Copies of this chain bind each other. A is one copy, B any other.
Amino acid sequence: AKQKILLLPGDGIGPEIMEQAVRIIDWLKAERGLDVELSEDVVGGASLAKYDVPIRDEVIAKAKAADAVLFGSVGDPAWKDVPFDRRPEVAILRLRKELNLYANLRPAKLFDPLLSASALKPDVVRGLDLMIVRETVGGVYFGEPRGIETLPDGTKRGVNTEVYTTAEIERVARVAFDLARLRSGRVCSVEKGNVMESGLLWREVVTDLHKREYSDVTLTHMLADNCAMQLVRDPRQFDVMVTGNLFGDLLSDLASMLTGSLGMLPSATLGTPEGTDKQAALYEPIHGSAPDIAGKGIANPLAQILSLAMMLRYSLDRGADSELIEQAVSNVLASGLRTADIAAAGESRVSTAEMGEAVLKELQKL
Enumerate chain A interface residues (CB-CB to B < 8 A).
75, 84, 87, 89, 93, 119-121, 124, 140-141, 143, 146-148, 151, 155-167, 192, 194-202, 204-205, 224-226, 228-229, 231-234, 246-247, 249-251, 253-254, 256-258, 262, 288
Extra 6 A-B pairs, beta carbons < 8 Å, given A158-B163, A192-B246, A225-B249: A89-B195, A119-B232, A140-B195, A156-B201, A159-B162, A229-B256
* Cβ–Cβ < 8 Å partners of A251 in chain B: 228
* Cβ–Cβ < 8 Å partners of A288 in chain B: 226
- CA separation between A159 and B164, bound complex, in Å? 7
* Cβ–Cβ < 8 Å partners of A155 in chain B: 165-167
Nearest-Cβ distance from residue A240 to partner chain B, whole angstroms: 20
Q: Is the CB of A197 within 8 A of B166?
A: no
* Cβ–Cβ < 8 Å partners of A156 in chain B: 165-166, 201, 204-205
* Cβ–Cβ < 8 Å partners of A205 in chain B: 156
Contacting residue for A194 out of B75, B146, B250, CB 8 A: B75
Q: Is the CB of A119 within 8 A of B195?
A: no
Nearest-Cβ distance from residue A104 to partner chain B, whole angstroms: 13
Q: Which residue of B lies closest to A75 (CB)?
A: B194
* Cβ–Cβ < 8 Å partners of A143 in chain B: 159
Q: Which residue of B lies closest to A232 (CB)?
A: B257
- Known A-B contacts A165-B151, A229-B262, A254-B229; the reply to A158 vs B198 at CB < 8 A is yes
- CA separation between A317 and B161, bound complex, in Å? 42
Q: Is the CB of B250 within 8 A of A225?
A: yes
Q: What are 17 of the A-B contact pairs (CB < 8 Å)?
A: A75-B194, A120-B121, A146-B197, A155-B167, A156-B166, A157-B165, A158-B200, A159-B198, A161-B161, A225-B249, A226-B253, A228-B251, A228-B253, A229-B257, A232-B254, A232-B258, A250-B250
Q: Is the CB of B225 within 8 A of A159?
A: no
- CA separation between A120 and B199, bound complex, in Å? 30
Q: Is the CB of A197 within 8 A of B148?
A: yes
- CA separation between A247 and B251, bound complex, in Å? 11
Q: Is the CB of A200 within 8 A of B162?
A: no
* Cβ–Cβ < 8 Å partners of A194 in chain B: 75, 87, 89
Q: Is the CB of A159 within 8 A of B250?
A: no
- CA separation between A252 and B180, bound complex, in Å? 30
- CA separation between A225 and B228, bound complex, in Å? 12
Q: Which residue of B lies closest to A226 (CB)?
A: B253
Q: Is the CB of B148 within 8 A of A158?
A: no
Nearest-Cβ distance from residue A31 to partner chain B, whole angstroms: 37
Q: Is the CB of B234 within 8 A of A119?
A: yes
- CA separation between A109 and B198, bound complex, in Å? 33
* Cβ–Cβ < 8 Å partners of A197 in chain B: 84, 146-148, 158-160
Q: Which residue of B lies closest to A166 (CB)?
A: B155
* Cβ–Cβ < 8 Å partners of A198 in chain B: 148, 158-160
* Cβ–Cβ < 8 Å partners of A201 in chain B: 148, 156-158
Q: Is the CB of B250 within 8 A of A233?
A: no
